[in-house]
Chains A and B, each alone.
Chain A
Amino acid sequence: MLRKTYENIDSIGRAILTIEAKDAHNKELAEVIYPNGQKAFAQVIALNGSKVTLQLFGGGFGVSTDCKIRFLGHPVQVGFSDQMLGRVYSGNGQPIDGGPQLVSDMIRVAGPSINPVKRLIPKNMIRTGVPMIDVFNTLVRSQKIPIFARAGEPYNRLLANIATQTDADVIIIGGVGLKYDEYHYFKERIEDAGSKSKTIMFVHTHRDSIVEGLMVPDLALAVGEQFALQGKNVFVLLSDMTQWSDYLRQVANAQDQIPANQGYPGDLYSQLASRYEKAADIEGSGSLTILGVTTMDDVTHPVPDNTGYITEGQFFMKDGYLELFGSLSRLKQQVNNKTRDDHRSIMNAMARLLSEAEERVKAQKFGSVKDDYSLRLLDYRKTFQKELMDPFRYLELEDALDLCWEILATHFKKEEVGLSSDLVESYWPNKEDFKILKIQNA
């Protein structure tokens, strides 16, 4: 069917264009045709009488009033096929790795959510080899969980580690606002880990327009969801959702929307939720797990704050360590009673002692900590940080649990740790028999 082109562009902004047109559909994809024949994508985001508002995938720079707009008769779609594995795509779904364009089925982007009754209660642990995750905040298949960290923390390294150290069938990386070296790093890590053949990347770097950046999570999740429906266990990595929210804010602002908090649009929560909620363990099918990154300075900032209400916990990274306090896995209760019989108890005991130690750290500043028990608590805190909080130390869960016992035995008497006598009997190690904690033993 021949589609009409429109020439009467009304206004051009940084990311938005308005035009007089008829028969445009809400959310329809369109082409901006430049006088020299070049093309760029745009999408209808609002209609008002004959005025159509479009969001420009390539940004408004360079668009002129003699450009033409052609509506394409379909919404935003993305290709889907097994051959996408190993490939790299931009935020408008085009390959950017120099490889050939694929002819594949087109699937819809940002479709409706799955009926909750098709969801399974998540109950499969994902072993990551990171002690702070496996022992203290267990990751569960189909969980949606971000890393909260300051910009500059090694969160992308952790993200890549987790993805490649686990048994995911498909890894989809959605990079939003990546620096070029971060993009390069992801690519290298995936190749080094031998995971390239099960990975698809959708990448938006700082040189690309923000609208493309906005599209990345939707493309990554739409493709991920298809793989999950085919029975695969899919990992989607989204870095960094704070930048994504910032782009959202810019576009909302360009549309003269009334801002809610700190300039962010009032629907920030719904926008984030409709992406994160794609995570699901689907009855009779596969699963989709989302690991995100939310860069932040302060957890009460609108982006981490709204994210925290949506996701199933968060991993809090600070000064290169994965923190115990501030991190949370809401789904860990579903799985950590099925690992080893001491898992839950030792997790709680270690946390309780560490929280006692944190109290002493505060008190220490007043010079009021002098008793032996408090001093041992402070030593315990140091060992804990050194042995367990390093996000890049790889330990099997069982070894990590043994290490926990060894740390307790180094600093405490049996009756001080508040664990049941049965567990202490079966697990309390002698200092000579330490398997993991070598340094203290020597």
Chain B
Amino acid sequence: MEKAKGKVISVNESLVGVENTKGAVMNGEVAYIVLEDGKRLKAEVIDVKPGKRVFLQVFEDTSWMKIGDEVEFTGLPLSVRLGPGILGTVTDGLQNPLYELVKKEWFLERGMVVAPLDESKKWHFTPKVKTGDTVSGASVLGTVPEKMFEHKIFVPFSLTEDYIVESIVSEGDYTITDTIAVIKDGKGQTKSLNMTFDWPVKQPMPFHKRSVPKETLPTGMRILDALFPIAYGGTACSPGPFGAGKTVLQHSIAKHSRADVVIIAACGERAGEAVEVFKDFPELIDPRTGKSLMDRTYIVGNTSSMPVAAREASVYLATAVGEYYRKQGLDVLILADSTSRWAQALRETSGRKEEIPGPEAFPMYISTLISAFYDRAGVEILPNGQKSSLSIIGTVSPAGGNFDEPVTQATLLSTGAFLGLSRELSDARKYPAIDRLDSNSKYPSLISEEEVKYLKDVLKEGKSIASNLLLMGERGITNEAYIAYQKSELLDAVFLQQNSFHDVDGVTNPERLRIMFDLIKYIIDAPLHIETKDDIRSHFNFLRQAFLDWNYLKLDDPKFEKQKTKIINLVKQKANVKENV
């Protein structure tokens, strides 16, 4: 079939109008615009209009394009190359590996083309089928080891009929472009398969069988794991004004969460932040696997100064890769930072197309797109009965920090946990600055439901006393109220707050979370007999200091138990004062 052709008829930043001169065009297909110097700029059809006019959004800078430049349509939707070799790499939003691009140019010049996956590397392939077997889409042809996982080589998911294996290579080392199998359909047509296949990024991969998220995904952050948990296969959003700690939160989760694979979609954010991840992670050892953190990580870096149209592609690219590793039987976590930049990219394009704008000039369909994106997360039951999952945590950057805006609102409707970041808390240096009372999660916590309620009640009471304290001063409230207030402050300071930059305090595993919760509950429940407010304040200062020192001790440190005893003794002393008198 001959490919369609066209000519440029208008240029407005990343939106290019094309006259379709030959063949049929498909909405969503990839096209290349050929500039007069021969450079080919990748673009995507986003609209087909009367009079054989087509709108393209171009993924690269459109400088020096002119009317009449040739356009070649590919007939194929925007796709991701799936196969071994994705983990541990950093690509842009169109799957160009950044470490390969830099070998050509220091700057991200347009029109550079690099193979998305390393085609020279040899993988050790072990076949799992034999000649004569019947296979179809998603059947496993064999496996190769990738980092710490056994990477399954599938029959491409798009092949839905039954095929007979005509030939399969024997165990050995092959590159991803080598033919490893030939299969034949019912009509006798054969197909050669290698270790990779392409999948359209915007099309959700069908679940074999879908289940619901109901198991906590430990993140190592106490406020999340105890109060506002994330689940395997669940979704969460963290909206917040700038400077409230969204990125530190995301990085901390990327480092410490108990997922098998973490995909970071740096969408329209600072390049420096992505750099921190991909330069730091290779040096950091994941204590659970003993391997470099980068081995389980894939980074899509479409940073804020890269072409805007590729932002949308970057989010979908990350998701399609996530779905693929879910098919591998793994628990995958996607951190998308920030979905607002993606929405803004859509707004820019929509504006140039002169669509009738919705609220704050965002396109009307923004909420549908956001919901459909989060719906790609979920728990999947694979044909062999194995459970795997894809979880998504998206940050939202609302204009002016005001959550009452279209992107935040659409996201809230589509996600299962809401981690609202607050400027008030970050100003007071109370990190993570997740609002203790307004945030919520529908997923199960690492502590019991009653215990969650218990913590929330302590915090609520503390907050209401704090407002009385502001109005009436320390002398205006009873000692009992003042003690309740101090207890809630203590809970916040030593349990909910966490120093992400500290090796030990930065991550709390489920076992330690339980120990910490039990101790803080013990302190709050213990009776306390102190006569003056000064002494109460001083008592809690000592307790806070002792608890923080304890937080900085490793679980297996001999001093750990000693420090815990010290805290308990501090509590006991004051509980017993009355009896000693």
Contacts and interface: CB of A to CB of B under 8 A. Distances in A.
A300 B105 contact: no
Interface stretch (B62-70, B151-159, B566-574): B62-70
Given A47-B67, A302-B399, A325-B427, A277 B108 contact: no
A50 B68 CA distance: 10
A355 B354 contact: no
B101 to A, nearest CB: 6
A348 B499 CA distance: 12
B270 A366 contact: no
Contacts of B99: 117
Contact of A258 (B357, B427, B476): B357
Given A25-B65, A113-B303, A267 B348 contact: yes
B9 A49 contact: yes
A310 B274 CA distance: 13
A366 B473 contact: yes
B188 interface: no
A368 B361 contact: no
A66 interface: no
B94 to A, nearest CB: 14
A197 to B, nearest CB: 29
A271 to B, nearest CB: 10
A326 to B, nearest CB: 8
A369 B473 contact: yes
A254 interface: no
B21 interface: no
Contacts of B242: 305, 308-309
Contacts, number: 203
Interface string A35-78: 00000000000111110000000000000000000000001000
Contacts of A305: 242, 399-401
Contact of B361 (A26, A47, A259): A259
Contacts of A352: 429
Contacts of A266: 344, 347-348, 351, 361
Interface string A270-309: 1001100110101000000000000000001110011011
Contact of B304 (A274, A328, A330, A416): A274
Interface residues of A, number: 75
Contact of A26 (B64, B90, B101, B545): B64
A111 B458 CA distance: 55
Given A75-B64, A270-B348, A309 B397 contact: yes
Given A49-B9, A355-B427, A366 B276 contact: no
B278 A117 contact: yes
A310 B270 contact: yes
Given A260-B360, A308-B242, A355-B427, A24 B61 contact: no
A257 B345 CA distance: 15
B427 to A, nearest CB: 5
Contacts of A274: 304-305
A259 B347 CA distance: 10
A328 B243 contact: yes
B279 interface: yes
Interface residues of B, number: 76
Nearest to B338: A309
A23 interface: yes
Contact of B351 (A257, A261, A302, A328): A257
A100 interface: no
B428 interface: yes
A340 interface: no
A363 B360 CA distance: 38
A116 B271 contact: yes
Given A368-B471, A368-B472, A46 B361 contact: no
Interface in B117-170: none
Interface stretch (A118-126, A159-167, A384-392, A426-434): A118-126
B203 interface: no
Most buried by B among A24, A49, A122, A267: A267
Contacts of B177: none
Nearest to B352: A257
Contacts of B348: 266-267, 270
Most buried by A among B274, B473, B475: B473
A321 interface: no
A94 interface: no
A331 B270 CA distance: 12
A372 B106 CA distance: 61
A47 B400 contact: no
A309 B347 CA distance: 18
Given A75-B63, A326-B427, 11 more contacts: A46-B10, A47-B11, A75-B64, A116-B271, A117-B90, A117-B102, A121-B275, A267-B348, A270-B268, A300-B399, A371-B474
21 contacts: A27-B63, A27-B64, A111-B107, A112-B107, A113-B108, A115-B98, A116-B278, A117-B102, A121-B272, A121-B276, A269-B341, A305-B401, A308-B242, A308-B243, A348-B429, A352-B429, A355-B428, A366-B470, A366-B472, A368-B471, A373-B537
Top-6 shortest CB links A-B: A368-B473, A300-B400, A273-B304, A277-B305, A308-B242, A113-B305
Interface of B: 9-13, 17, 61-67, 90, 98-99, 101-102, 105-110, 241-243, 268, 270-272, 274-276, 278-280, 301, 303-306, 308, 341, 344-345, 347-348, 351-352, 354, 357, 360-361, 397, 399-402, 427-429, 469-476, 501, 533-534, 537, 541, 545
